[in-house]
């Protein structure tokens, strides 16, 4: 499997982590100073998942795809392989964001599965580990606020 993954323990209940993970993406999804505008989240298999990532110098990176799974309170899975009207869009990855109870808190895991080893290596070279860990840091800070 051509997968990159990060995981961490968050000292907050699964309910709180899920709420931030699913409903407050604009606050944690991109490593700052990047940010997103959420276009649509049709939270069901086959539903549209669309946003625009914005960079500090005016960069814009549209992200268009679909949900492959939405399991309320547990995980969601997206892909950019197709658009909501099932048009091919040049796949980059399948993204998986999931949580599970762990002790007094929550285990958060985010993974990116790629079609080829080359695509996975390119994602790693683009800064997967640093970028996705920065997002996890932002998510964790929001979840652990009193």
The predicted-structure confidence for 24-68, as pLDDT tens digits, reads as follows: 999 999 999 999 999 999 999 999 999 999 999 999 999 999 999
- Given a cut of 70, is residue 146 above it in pLDDT? no
Domain that holds residue 110: 2-144
H or E element in which residue 139 lies: helix 128-144
> Is the Cβ–Cβ distance between 52 and 62 less than 8 Å?
yes
Cα–Cα distance between 94 and 4 in angstroms, integer? 11
- Output the domain CATH number for residue 39: 3.30.530.20
What pLDDT score does 91 carry? 77
Total tally of structural domains belonging to the chain:
1
pLDDT in tens, 80-98: 998 888 888 777 899 999 9
Q: Is the pLDDT of residue 114 over 80?
A: yes
* Cα 39 to the center of its chain, rounded Å: 15
Please say whether the beta carbons of 35 and 25 come within 8 A.
no
Report how far residue 134's alpha carbon sits from residue 136's, in angstroms, rounded to the nearest whole number: 5
């Amino acid at each position: 499997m051509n997968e990159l993954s990060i995981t961490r323990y968050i000292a907050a209940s699964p309910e709180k982590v899920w709420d931030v993970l699913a409903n407050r993406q604009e606050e944690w999804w991109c490593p700052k100073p990047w940010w997103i505008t959420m276009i649509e989240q049709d939270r069901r298999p086959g539903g549209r998942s669309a946003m625009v990532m914005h960079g500090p110098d005016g960069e814009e990176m549209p992200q268009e795809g679909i949900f492959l799974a939405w399991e309320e309170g547990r995980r969601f899975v997206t892909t950019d392989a197709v658009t909501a009207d099932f048009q091919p869009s040049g796949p980059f990855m399948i993204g998986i964001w999931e949580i599970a109870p762990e002790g007094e808190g929550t285990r958060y895991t985010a993974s990116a599965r790629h079609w080829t080893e080359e695509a996975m290596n390119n994602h790693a070279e683009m800064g997967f580990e640093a970028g996705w860990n920065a997002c996890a840091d932002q998510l964790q800070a929001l979840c652990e606020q009193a």
